[in-house]
Amino acid sequence: MRRKLAVCALFCVVLAMLPSHSASVAVMSVDLGSEWMKIAIVKPGVPMEIALNSESRRKTPIAVCLKETERLFGDNALGVSVKNPKLVYRHLQSLLGKKHDNPQVGLYQKTFPEHQLLEDPVRGTPYFKYADDLNYTPEELLGMVLNYSRGLAQDFAEQPIKDAVITVPCFFNQAERRAVLKVANMAGVKVLQLINDNTAVAINYGVFRRKDIDSTPKNIMFYDMGASSTTATIVTYQTVKTKDMGVQPQVQVRGVGFDRGLGGFELDLRLRDHLAKLFNQQKKSKKDVRENHRAMAKLLKEAQRLKMVLSANAEFTAQVEGLMDDIDFKARVSRVDFEAMCADLFERVSRPVQDALATAEMTSIEQVILVGGSTRVPKVQEVLLKAVNKEELGKNINADEAAAMGAVYQAAALSKAFKVKPFLVRDATVYPIQVEFTRETDEDGAKTVKHNKRILFQRMAPYPQRKVITFNRYTDDFSFEINYGDLAYLGEEDLGVFGSLNLTTVKLSEVGSSFLKHTDAESKGIKAHFNMDDSGVLLLDRVESVFETIVEEKEEESTLTKLGNTISNLFGGGSAEPSLNATESVQEEEEVPLEAGKEEEEEEAEKKKKTEEEPEQPKEEQEAPKEAEGEEKEKKPEEAEKAPGEEEEAGEKKEEKTGDAEAEKEAEKTEQKPQKKTKISEEIAVELLANDISDPTAEDILSSNKKLQDLTNRDLAKQERERMLNNLEAFIFETQDKLNQKEYKQAVGEEEKEKIVAKLRESSEWMDEEGYAATTKELREKLSELKTLCKALFFRVDERRKRPDRLAALTSMLNTSSYFLRSAKLIPEDDQIFTDVELKTLEKVINDTTTWKTETVAEQDKRSLAERPVLLSKDLEAKLALLDREVNYLLNKAKFAKPKAKPKAKNATSSSSEKSAKANATAEEKVIPPAATATGEEEATVKDSESPKANTDNHVGDEL
């Protein structure tokens, strides 16, 4: 704890919690790899920690074992994979967002032949056939794992957690990102953000080096080789000026290179296959070991160990006992052998570096930092060192945990429950996205079809970012396509894995009716508002048909403006907006707070980038705008068709200003002063058709959720049964043991003992014979029966244990109170602060308590230990409390009493009957009720005619 606080103070990472949040404020991150996941949490007072799993380990295998009666996760699931590989599902990441015919799905099937992957007839996606009538999608299986990760985080944080930042590989495309969001949805996890894993690493690196970041850009490459893929990411650290937060450090992703298939697991598989070959060569069995799934699973496990050992040693003997048909396997493998069989893989190490440099348009970087477990392989480092042309590689971050830690920092920043020092993050889109549309034109009576493309997001365009595209030539319903841009740089193999190059068909309706509604207004085009959100997911926020009217009367103008604004506000609310794919976290309008001050720079950067890249994409970039401008000028007087124009905006706030096209600016120049314009916006209905991977239907989602919930309930029921079984076993055992202890022997009656012993024996036999098949209910009833039978005995023993202490306390209290009473009575009448009633009341309590004590102790002494006691601990406690209250009340009165100036009216003392005395005694007396002292009040006059005790919360007056 102290260490944690020290860490907190040192880095000031999470400064404080806002008081408005009380209940569940902890947030988590999951670094969701293909083989492992690492979980981190932040909760108030405990900033940024890796959550240990139930085996107290810092990383957990991504695996789920579906047994007939229960599920196992993590290491437990992996343990089963050697004995029964068919039950264990892992490496699920590569199946997300893919069609069944994707090469990666084929590769998966080849790697895990024990599983059967079939094709969903509607979506074309793969699913696992588990049993005749039971299938699981990769999303469902990963959803189970993610839900399990949440459980681990909650156990570690000791509070419920819902919000998470989840890492994804930077090369994940739209379908793959949406698939992860679906997984999270099934797991009941609210995604604050999907973050690219290297970006999370870069945040972690930067956050702990804030002081070193200044206005001079520093370029750093993170080279991450994980289990199944490799990425190289170049980022720039630099301080930037923001509008709201002053100068703050920022990390911007500048270049990305990756290899989807290069990773440690491929090395493992090569080693496994090598071991299989060696075993077959040894000819100890007639069968081919490669046909035996279980043997191959054992070899894979040994291969993974072998790889690790060969990172440190030049040679090692792999061995597996009883590999197949009770035949042991043993073979020596050298590092040289290993490097030879993976030579082609090691050759691929440098490509991501070159790609990252090329996309960043850099030739060198300051430092290369290693991330990911597989960078520990010596050959990888050797090749990499050459590729980056450096003296050494940076190993100064925790290669395994940096991503989880960076992601949880981001989670804290996004959750609003924590105050986090701003650290601005600008990620980059790895794949360009464009809008395409065709239009029929009628030129000289000849119909021609024109195909148009507009780049929406360039390759490496920063995000989160909003963009608007304006269609100026449409007056009726139309549709357009959202597709990926030119991905030729990916190469054939990656393109095969990438899947569909087409994203979404957007069908607009009510365009025509919007024009009919505003025949007297000038159309400013159909504006489609896009948002590349924090998670790198493209959303179509809304589409509007914008008109402008020219109004002379000021009054009328303002009402119209109001109306227009109201409408756009309604549409801008974002609640029921059509979207390509919505995550809860991205729809808030006030998002991107960190980016607020960056609009101008962002725009400039955009322009710069554009001009730089223009030569690469001459057709899309240069032709279209020219054509648009040209036509626009020509046709303007006629107010007929307008050319589709493109505009971009850097942030939400720019929208109002830049929302109006260039044409408008020109119009303003010519006819400016006298008239004012009013913008009217009509929402356009949008229908979205997915062309990559269609979303599961509402029924699919319901059925998935139910499937997962049923399994969770089953697991919980099983846990509950096990708990009950343990409780019953423990109770029987403990009670048998107790009956041999002196305390219990003394307290138990003969008959009672016989009964209990008999029942225990019976229960014990029942447990042996039927207990292991018994239901939770039966177990619970059995336990309850036993408890009832033993209740009286346990009570007696317990009472006897407690009695001496309680009795001594009461005796001591009686002594003190009596002493206090005697002293109080000795106060001379003139100085007396206590009324007669008060003193009498105390005396009576003392008398009564003494009497009760004497009588009850005498009664108790007559009883044997096996009889129900009469001197009960709860009664002793009650008497003690009563005396304590009475004495305290008087002590308090004494403490705040003022010396008497004059004897008061005699009425009070002269009365002999208690009741009348009570009625008058306290009138106009100055009393501070005990309750008031706590609040620091000086005095309070009690005008109540009843007992002064009635005025105190914790003072029960005279019920005795």
Ligand X SMILES: *[C@@H]1O[C@H](CO)[C@@H](O)[C@H](O)[C@H]1NC(C)=O
Distance of alpha carbon 610 from alpha carbon 458, whole angstroms: 8
Of 307-315, 579-587, 741-749, 830-838: span binding ligand X (CB under 6 A): 579-587
Using CB under 6 A, which residues numbered 737 to 766 contact ligand X? none
CA distances from 778 to 412, 718, 763, 855 (A): 46, 14, 12, 46
Binding mask 908-927 for ligand X (x = CB under 6 A): ------------x--x----
Is 93 in contact with 227 (CB distance < 8 Å)?
no
Q: Which residue has the tokens 């504006």?
A: 527
Least spacing, CB of residue 902 vs ligand X, in Å: 12
Least spacing, CB of residue 437 vs ligand X, in Å: 8
The two beta strands, 446-457 and 163-168, are unpaired
Least spacing, CB of residue 536 vs ligand X, in Å: 16
The two beta strands, 63-66 and 71-73, are antiparallel
Using CB under 6 A, which residues numbered 414 to 453 contact ligand X? 436
Least spacing, CB of residue 651 vs ligand X, in Å: 22
Options 691, 694, 727, 873; binder of ligand X; rule CB under 6 A: 691
Least spacing, CB of residue 841 vs ligand X, in Å: 8
Which residue type is seen at 569?
Answer: N
Read out DSSP for 328-390? Answer: EEEEEEEHHHHHHHTHHHHHGGGHHHHHHHHHHT-S--SEEEEESGGGGSHHHHHHHHHHHT-
Sorted by sequence, the CB contacts under 8 Å of residue 208 that are 6+ apart come out as 11
In the complex with ligand X, the residue whose CB is nearer, 316 or 498, is 498
In the complex with ligand X, the residue whose CB is nearer, 204 or 835, is 835
In the complex with ligand X, the residue whose CB is nearer, 195 or 506, is 506
Least spacing, CB of residue 908 vs ligand X, in Å: 7
Binding mask 471-500 for ligand X (x = CB under 6 A): ----------x-x-----------------
In the complex with ligand X, the residue whose CB is nearer, 164 or 760, is 164
**Interaction between residue 582 and ligand X (CB under 6 A):** yes
Tokens of 801: 């244990």
Least spacing, CB of residue 206 vs ligand X, in Å: 32
Cα atoms in the 13 Å half-sphere on the side-chain side of 714: 13
Q: Which residue has the tokens 């009402």?
A: 559
**Interaction between residue 667 and ligand X (CB under 6 A):** no
The alpha carbons of the chain give a radius of gyration, in whole angstroms, of 39
Sheet with 218-225, strands from edge to edge, namely: 367-371, 218-225, 230-242, 246-259, 424-428, 462-463
Least spacing, CB of residue 336 vs ligand X, in Å: 48
Tokens of 167: 């890492």
**Interaction between residue 521 and ligand X (CB under 6 A):** no
In the complex with ligand X, the residue whose CB is nearer, 334 or 907, is 907
The two beta strands, 230-242 and 418-420, are unpaired
Least spacing, CB of residue 165 vs ligand X, in Å: 18
**Interaction between residue 947 and ligand X (CB under 6 A):** no
Query: What b/e sequence results for 263-300 when a residue is b if at least 16 CB atoms lie within 10 Å of its CB, and e otherwise?
Result: bbbbbbbbbbbbbbebbeeeeebeeebbebbbbbbbbb
Q: Please, is 477 exposed, middle or buried when counting C-beta atoms within 10 Å of its C-beta (0-12, 13-18, 19+)?
A: middle
Is 195 in contact with 166 (CB distance < 8 Å)?
yes
Residue 230 β-bridge partners: 225, 259
**Interaction between residue 847 and ligand X (CB under 6 A):** yes
Options 18, 336, 495, 905; binder of ligand X; rule CB under 6 A: 905
Distance of alpha carbon 380 from alpha carbon 386, whole angstroms: 10
Number of residues that bind ligand X (CB under 6 A): 18
Least spacing, CB of residue 594 vs ligand X, in Å: 24
Distance of alpha carbon 469 from alpha carbon 600, whole angstroms: 19
Least spacing, CB of residue 927 vs ligand X, in Å: 15
Q: Please, is 888 exposed, middle or buried when counting C-beta atoms within 10 Å of its C-beta (0-12, 13-18, 19+)?
A: middle
Least spacing, CB of residue 474 vs ligand X, in Å: 17
Options 196, 581, 763, 835; binder of ligand X; rule CB under 6 A: 581
**Interaction between residue 305 and ligand X (CB under 6 A):** no
In the complex with ligand X, the residue whose CB is nearer, 481 or 778, is 481
Least spacing, CB of residue 692 vs ligand X, in Å: 10
**Interaction between residue 273 and ligand X (CB under 6 A):** no
Binding mask 98-137 for ligand X (x = CB under 6 A): ----------------------------------------
Of 344-352, 397-405, 837-845, 869-877: span binding ligand X (CB under 6 A): 837-845
Distance of alpha carbon 196 from alpha carbon 177, whole angstroms: 10
Distance of alpha carbon 189 from alpha carbon 30, whole angstroms: 11
Sorted by sequence, the CB contacts under 8 Å of residue 385 that are 6+ apart come out as 392, 393
CA distances from 511 to 328, 516, 531, 567, 681 (A): 74, 9, 22, 16, 12
Tokens of 947: 């007992």
In the complex with ligand X, the residue whose CB is nearer, 25 or 165, is 165
**Interaction between residue 502 and ligand X (CB under 6 A):** yes
**Interaction between residue 695 and ligand X (CB under 6 A):** yes
Least spacing, CB of residue 449 vs ligand X, in Å: 12
In the complex with ligand X, the residue whose CB is nearer, 412 or 508, is 508
Least spacing, CB of residue 582 vs ligand X, in Å: 3
In the complex with ligand X, the residue whose CB is nearer, 157 or 927, is 927
In the complex with ligand X, the residue whose CB is nearer, 333 or 908, is 908
Least spacing, CB of residue 99 vs ligand X, in Å: 12
Distance of alpha carbon 413 from alpha carbon 46, whole angstroms: 15
Using CB under 6 A, which residues numbered 161 to 190 contact ligand X? 182
Using CB under 6 A, which residues numbered 330 to 369 contact ligand X? none
In the complex with ligand X, the residue whose CB is nearer, 726 or 945, is 945
Run of H or E residues at 48: strand 46-50
Residue 822 β-bridge partners: none
Distance of alpha carbon 714 from alpha carbon 704, whole angstroms: 15
Options 840, 897, 946, 958; binder of ligand X; rule CB under 6 A: 840
In the complex with ligand X, the residue whose CB is nearer, 505 or 561, is 505
For the chain, first and last CA: distance in Å?
51
Options 29, 233, 579, 763; binder of ligand X; rule CB under 6 A: 579
Tokens of 226: 């994980």
Rule CB under 6 A: which residues touch ligand X? 182, 436, 481, 483, 502, 579, 581-582, 691, 695, 840, 843-844, 847, 905, 907, 920, 923
